[in-house]
Amino acid sequence: MTLLRLRALCALYGEGRIFTLANVVSFRSLSQALLAWAIASMLYTPLHGLAVTAANPPGHHMLNLGIGGTEVALVFVAALSVVIARVMEEARRLDEEQALTV
């Protein structure tokens, strides 16, 4: 689904349609998917460690916690894309308002 949104977004950019509702919706859903991926990547390591050691006797379970540079960069890019989506939405609104001005 996310790749389809990215394809639609690139097609809209290719047509020269920048501030349309379809463009904003595609970019917003793409940025939300990126943010979900960032959160899931940070939760993967501790949950995987718990799942692997779930059958161990009490006291021998393992919880791995760690956030690396990749996770931090992914969260930063995802948050930045959410902000850009919000700015694009406002720009679309202003573009519509300007089109109605005589």
Domain that holds residue 21: 2-37+68-100
Do the domain assignments include residue 57?
no
* Per-residue tokens: 18: 């920048």
Please give the span between the terminal C-alpha atoms of the chain, in angstroms, as a whole number: 40
Which pLDDT belongs to residue 89?
Answer: 92
Do the domain assignments include residue 55?
no
Do the domain assignments include residue 58?
no
Do the domain assignments include residue 50?
no
Which pLDDT belongs to residue 18?
Answer: 80
| pLDDT tens-digit map of 18-71 | 878 888 888 899 899 999 988 898 888 888 888 888 888 888 878 888 788 888
Question: Per-residue DSSP letters for 14-78?
Answer: HTT--S-HHHHHHHHHHHHHHHHHHHHHHHHHHHHHHHHTTTSPTT---------HHHHHHHHHH
Instruction: Please give the radius of gyration of the chain, using alpha carbons only, rounded to the nearest integer.
Output: 20
Do the domain assignments include residue 63?
no
| pLDDT tens-digit map of 87-96 | 999 989 998 8
Which pLDDT belongs to residue 73?
Answer: 92
**Cα distance between residue 96 and residue 47, in whole Å:** 46
Res. 1: pLDDT tops 80? no
Number of domains making up the chain: 1
User: What is the reported pTM?
Assistant: 0.75
Which pLDDT belongs to residue 62?
Answer: 81
Do the domain assignments include residue 79?
yes
